[in-house]
């Protein structure tokens, strides 16, 4: 039987497909294994960079490892804690706003006094040129949260100016900044509600008898 | 034989260019060409996949039953794309953050399967590899050109963020063509991509027609 005839046999075709699947799976397994550590490291570096962007002041712990998970508005919130000499100085966590074109994921840093240290956008799908002014590279708007707390402006003024609040909106885009302001406000409420567990007060009091 | 290789090179780069002549692979073309750097990165990633897929498929072409060739091609191409995806994620992470969403789209780029089916499965390894390389470079050229035009018109810059793709040594490529440009949003949005592609297609037709007319005049 010639090879051309063999190729038409269903058994050969099955074996061929199986062989190709086996070979490609092996290639993928090897690739996945050999890139895993590098990808983890790159993602950890990314995470750390995005966390330190919204922190000011000194801290001396590895904040990626010092986390606490609390129930928040949209499911569980993973909070990273920055400590100095064992005391939690600031916390960083994600908040999600619902913008014009889907979720706007932000990270925000809050000091132990409850002041916003910084807010950054992790990912969004807002319109380029209009809604994307929430990115610090395009506009300095995102810095307008820094130093704010729930007394300044008062809790009911955490809105864009169009809605009677204190935060600017952009020409041509109100939905995007409104969503970010709302998300940050929710983040502040989250901090106020969970202050004790966030700041790890119980442990701090236990440590100094 | 060398004439054959010249033909393949010309076809890939210009005469049968994936974007400008075959009008294939428009999904990634429109999606990534909001800047020249993105276009170049996507083009190079696609070139790597095309070169590898053409070479592999050509070298096993006699083993593959014609009846099951399409699933075999697709599995091979999907594997190659996944390899490119994880390698970029691991070793060019900044670029991956820019292009990552689109790398998976290379699987859906009908040009890759098209070259495998229409060319690589029928010819020797050398020709198939050259075809993959040249088709890929033609694709890269088209994407970079479209991206460059859209970037200059839309944002006033050219090759912004090139250092993420090519390393810090290529930061000199990053030029601001129009300082203090307010931006022309339409060009960055998808309709701008279609417009630029339309004008480029028309321009290529005109150039090809003029060349054909010159050759006809010289022959007469």
pLDDT tens digits for range A109-128? 999 888 999 999 888 888 77
Q: Can you tell me the distance from the alpha carbon of B41 to that of B146, in angstroms, rounded to the nearest whole number?
A: 13
Q: What is the pLDDT of residues B5-54, one digit of tens each?
A: 899 999 888 888 998 988 888 888 888 888 898 889 889 889 999 999 99
The answer to whether B140 touches B124, Cβ cutoff 8 Å, is no
Share of chain B above pLDDT 90, in %: 40
| Mean pLDDT, rounded, of chain B | 88
Q: What is the pLDDT of residues A55-97, one digit of tens each?
A: 887 788 887 788 888 887 777 888 888 888 888 888 998 899 9
Q: Are residues A39 and A72 in the same domain?
A: no
Between residues 112 and 171 of chain A, which touch chain B (CB distance below 8 Å)? Answer: 127-130
Top pLDDT among A5 and A12 is at A12
Q: Are residues A16 and A104 in the same domain?
A: no
Residue A27: list chain B partners with CB under 8 A.
79, 83
* Structural domain contains residue A58: no
Residue of chain A whose alpha carbon sits nearest to that of B185: A129
Share of chain B above pLDDT 70, in %: 99
Q: Are residues A74 and A44 in the same domain?
A: no
Mean pLDDT lowest for which of A118-122, A145-149, A198-202, B138-142? A198-202
Q: Are residues A103 and A188 in the same domain?
A: yes
Between residues 115 and 174 of chain B, which touch chain A (CB distance below 8 Å)? Answer: none
Q: Are residues A38 and A71 in the same domain?
A: no
* HEC string for chain A: CCHHHHHCCHHHHHHHHHHHHHHHHHHHHHHHHHHHHHHHHHHHHHHHHHHHHCCCCCCCCCCCCCEEEEEECCEEEEEEEEEECCEEEEEEEEEEEEECCEEEEEEEEEECCCCEEEEEEEECCCCCCCHHHHCCCCCCHHHHHCCCECEECEHHHCCEHHHCCCECCECCECHHHHHHHHHHHHHHHHHHHCHHHHCCHHHHHHHCC
Q: Quick check: B130 pLDDT over 80?
A: yes
Residue A46: list chain B partners with CB under 8 A.
93, 97
Q: Can you tell me the distance from the alpha carbon of A131 to that of A125, in angstroms, rounded to the nearest whole number?
A: 9
Q: Can you tell me the distance from the alpha carbon of B87 to that of B89, in angstroms, rounded to the nearest whole number?
A: 5
* Structural domain contains residue A56: no
Q: Are residues A111 and A196 in the same domain?
A: yes
Q: What is the pLDDT of residues B164-215, one digit of tens each?
A: 777 777 778 888 888 877 778 888 888 899 999 999 999 999 999 999 999 9
Binned at pLDDT 50, 70 and 90, residue A208 comes out as very low
* Structural domain contains residue A57: no
Q: What is the pLDDT of residues A134-171, one digit of tens each?
A: 888 778 899 999 988 888 888 888 999 888 888 988 87
Q: Is B90 on the interface with A (CB under 8 A)?
A: yes
Q: Are residues A37 and A108 in the same domain?
A: no
Structural domains of chain A, count: 2
Q: What is the mean pLDDT of residues A172-177?
A: 86
Provide the β-strand partners of residue A90. Answer: A82, A111
Q: Are residues A35 and A85 in the same domain?
A: no
User: In the structure encoding, which two tokens stand for residue A104, read together?
Assistant: 């706007």
Structural domain including A126 reads 67-206
Q: Are residues A82 and A111 in the same domain?
A: yes
Q: Is B34 on the interface with A (CB under 8 A)?
A: yes
* Structural domain contains residue A118: yes
- SS3 (DSSP) at B158: strand
Q: Are residues A107 and A187 in the same domain?
A: yes
Q: Are residues A14 and A71 in the same domain?
A: no
Q: Are residues A96 and A186 in the same domain?
A: yes
pLDDT of residue B146: 95
Residue A32: list chain B partners with CB under 8 A.
86
Mutate to test the interface with A, among B62, B68, B160 (most CBs of A within 10 A): B68
- Structure ipTM over 0.85, yes or no: no
Instruction: Return contacts of B120-125, CB within 8 angstroms, 24+ apart.
Output: B120/B53, B120/B54, B120/B55, B120/B57, B120/B58, B120/B61, B121/B57, B121/B58, B121/B61, B121/B64, B121/B69, B121/B73, B122/B61, B123/B58, B124/B58, B125/B55, B125/B58, B125/B59
């Amino acid at each position: 039987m010639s090879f051309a005839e063999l190729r038409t046999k269903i058994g050969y075709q099955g074996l061929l497909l199986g062989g190709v699947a086996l070979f490609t799976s092996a290639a993928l397994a090897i690739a996945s294994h050999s890139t895993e550590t590098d990808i983890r490291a790159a993602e950890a570096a990314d995470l750390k960079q995005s966390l330190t962007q919204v922190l000011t002041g000194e801290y001396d712990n590895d904040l990626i490892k010092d986390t606490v998970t609390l129930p928040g508005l949209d499911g569980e919130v993973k909070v990273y804690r920055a400590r100095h000499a064992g005391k939690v100085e600031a916390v960083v966590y994600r908040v999600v706003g619902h913008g014009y074109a889907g979720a706007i994921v932000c990270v925000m840093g809050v000091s132990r006094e409850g002041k916003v240290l910084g807010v950054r956008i992790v990912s969004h799908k807002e319109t380029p040129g209009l809604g994307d002014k929430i990115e610090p590279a395009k506009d300095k708007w995102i810095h307008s949260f820094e130093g704010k707390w729930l007394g300044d402006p008062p809790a009911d003024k955490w809105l864009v100016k169009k809605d009677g609040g204190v935060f600017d909106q952009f020409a041509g885009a109100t939905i995007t900044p409104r969503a970010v302001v709302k998300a940050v406000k929710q983040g502040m409420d989250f901090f106020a509600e969970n202050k004790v567990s966030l700041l790890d007060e119980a442990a701090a009091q236990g440590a100094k008898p | 034989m060398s004439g054959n290789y010249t033909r393949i090179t010309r076809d890939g780069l210009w005469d049968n260019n994936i974007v400008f002549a075959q009008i294939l692979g428009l999904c990634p073309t429109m999606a990534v060409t909001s800047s020249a750097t993105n276009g170049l990165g996507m083009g190079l990633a696609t070139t790597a996949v095309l070169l590898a897929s053409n070479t592999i498929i050509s070298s096993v072409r006699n083993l593959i039953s014609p009846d099951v060739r399409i699933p075999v091609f697709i599995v091979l191409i999907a594997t190659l794309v996944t390899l490119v995806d994880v390698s970029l994620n691991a070793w060019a992470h900044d670029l991956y953050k820019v292009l990552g969403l689109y790398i998976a789209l290379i699987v859906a780029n009908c040009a890759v399967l098209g070259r495998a089916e229409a060319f690589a499965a029928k010819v020797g390894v050398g020709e198939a590899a050259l075809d993959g390389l040249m088709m890929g470079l033609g694709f890269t050229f088209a994407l970079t050109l479209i991206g460059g035009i859209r970037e200059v018109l839309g944002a006033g810059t050219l090759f912004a963020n090139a250092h993420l793709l090519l390393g810090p040594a290529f930061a000199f490529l990053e030029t601001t063509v129009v300082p203090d440009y307010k931006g022309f949003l339409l060009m960055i949005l998808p309709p701008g991509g279609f417009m630029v592609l339309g004008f480029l297609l028309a321009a290529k037709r005109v150039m090809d027609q003029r060349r054909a007319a010159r050759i006809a005049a010289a022959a007469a």
